[in-house]
Structure 1
Amino acid sequence: MIITLFKTAILIAISTTFALCAELTLAQDDATSESYKLGAGDKINIRVYGEADLTVETTLSESGVINYPFLGEINAKNLTTGQLESMITDGLKGDYLIRPVVRVSINEYRPFFIDGEVKVPGGYPYQPGLTIGKAAALAQGFTERASKEKIFITRTRGGAELKFKADISTELLPGDIVTVEQRFF
């Protein structure tokens, strides 16, 4: 009897710990993706809890339009994951489901690009927390002619391209284009 009660108490403690960890992870995900706008190349997963037929995993095309069951075409480009969740929830609520619980997650961010004076220029998978120094490491380092003072980022915001000067510790965003220029000897 005491052993059974002890096992039950341990199981409750373990399940409570897992639930808290899951909530913390979701809160961290929401905090990091709260302002991130979806764009071409992002791989997303849309889930409606309890409705396996409504699970969609897709890569956003240049148009940003996805075809979602019951709702048809939805333009996800320039939306946050929270905005897309709300749009799908509102579309499913009432006609199809009573209280849909929708979760949109980013499986893989769109790539960033690094060119100029790096050993292997090209596109690389984005990782949260990525800096120019880390991006250069992914591109197998700077060349001998690289100027660490002449680094520029081209970033698209609201359809407009912005170009600004950066340094090795500048954090990158998905879709950024990093240009490392030559230094003069």
Structure 2
Amino acid sequence: MRHCLYIKSLFITLLALTAFTAHGVELETTEINSTQSKDYTLAPGDAIRVLVFQNPDLTLDTRVTESGSITYPLIGSVKVGNMSIAQAEGAIASALKSGGFVQQPQVNIVLLQVRGNQVSVLGAVNRPGRFPLESFNTKLSDMLAYAGGINTSIGTNGGGADQVIVVGIRNGVPFRKEIDIPNIFLNNHPQDDIEVAAGDVIFVPTAPQYYIYGEAQRPGSFRIKRNMTIQQAVAEAGGPSVRGTERGMKIYRSNANGELQVIRTKHTDLVQADDVIFVTESLF
């Protein structure tokens, strides 16, 4: 009995692989979908492949309609929206059996393409645009990689920030989350590398900047690096010129009311966004 069941299971696998090859689907992609997507909830726009054991004529590639249904041979319209793949397999099998078309139908559904199939990546990345969502468990880091990564080049825009913003819809509710990308890897926070969903927008804002002028080697605007101190900020600009000194430096910083104030800081204090550092001239 066990031997028969093994042969039967092996035949199902071979039938599925044959169908995948015939439709030009890569084996690696199909295996990922078939082994990891059973709990995935189907929704309008999802592309699926339906196979029935020993019934190759019932193989169907289709897309879930806006009403959450598919049209299937012999049984017509089948509601699969808001069902897991396993539940949808059961619904099709039940309809085939109750209609007398297949006595003991064994149905297998493969998720070919996730609904919407696109995520937008905007802002300070090397290749902004819309990118296909080819599997249901695509991570935030994957989408940033598709966009060429965060642009950290120093220029008029200062490059991209470490924190990115993800907006979209989750369970019918607007979703927004700010995520510190380096923190995922530097401090081992893999839970922040969230799964993206179709229709999501990933926005990489411009990195905060500071400005330095006066007797600095390279006055101008610079990207604020993580935990950057005043001393490091001056060093980034090449340090004081031959006529400059670090003594008596002034920091112009806006307060909570937007008023510009001149403050005294220690060299070990952290730079804040939009700080203006004035390197004074040495009197001696």
Same fold (TM over 0.5): yes
**Partner amino acid for 2:202?**
T
**Partner amino acid for 1:164?**
K
TM-score normalised over the length of structure 1? 0.72
Structure 2 residue aligned with 1:113:
119
- How far the C-alpha of 1:45 sits from its partner, in A, is 0.5
Q: Distance in 2 between matches of 1:91 and 1:147?
A: 53
Higher relative contact order (CA 8 A, sep 6+): 1
Larger radius of gyration: 2
Q: Which has the higher helix share?
A: 1
Mapping of 1:87-166 within 5 angstroms?
87-94=91-98, 95-110=100-115, 111-117=117-123, 118=125, 119-127=127-135, 130-144=138-152, 145-157=159-171, 159-166=172-179
Structure 2 residue aligned with 1:68:
72
Give % identity: 22
With over 3 angstroms needed to count, the CA separation of the structure-2 counterparts of 1:31 and 1:161, relative to structure 1, is farther
TM-score normalised over the length of structure 2? 0.50
Q: Distance in 1 between matches of 2:78 and 2:136?
A: 26
**Partner amino acid for 1:103?**
N
Tell me if the contact between 2:122 and 2:203 (Cα under 8 Å) persists in the aligned partners.
yes
Mapping of 1:47-66 within 5 angstroms?
47-66=51-70
Tell me if the contact between 2:133 and 2:198 (Cα under 8 Å) persists in the aligned partners.
no
- How far the C-alpha of 1:102 sits from its partner, in A, is 0.7
RMSD: 3.2
Name structure 1 gaps, 5 residues minimum: 1-14
With over 3 angstroms needed to count, the CA separation of the structure-2 counterparts of 1:65 and 1:113, relative to structure 1, is same
Q: Distance in 1 between matches of 2:101 and 2:46?
A: 28
Mapping of 1:36-55 within 5 angstroms?
36-55=40-59
- How far the C-alpha of 1:124 sits from its partner, in A, is 1.7
Name structure 2 gaps, 5 residues minimum: 1-5, 14-29, 153-158, 185-192, 210-284
Deviation per residue, 1:45-72 (Å, 9 max, x gap): 0111111222111122333321112222
Q: Give runs of ≥4 in structure 1 deviating > 6 Å.
A: none
Deviation per residue, 1:25-83 (Å, 9 max, x gap): x9986662232111233220011111122211112233332111222212222211101
What SS does structure 2 have at the residue aligned with 1:142?
Answer: coil
Which one of 171, 178, 181 corresponds to residue 201 of structure 2? 178
What SS does structure 2 have at the residue aligned with 1:114?
Answer: strand
Deviation larger for 164-173 or 91-100: 164-173
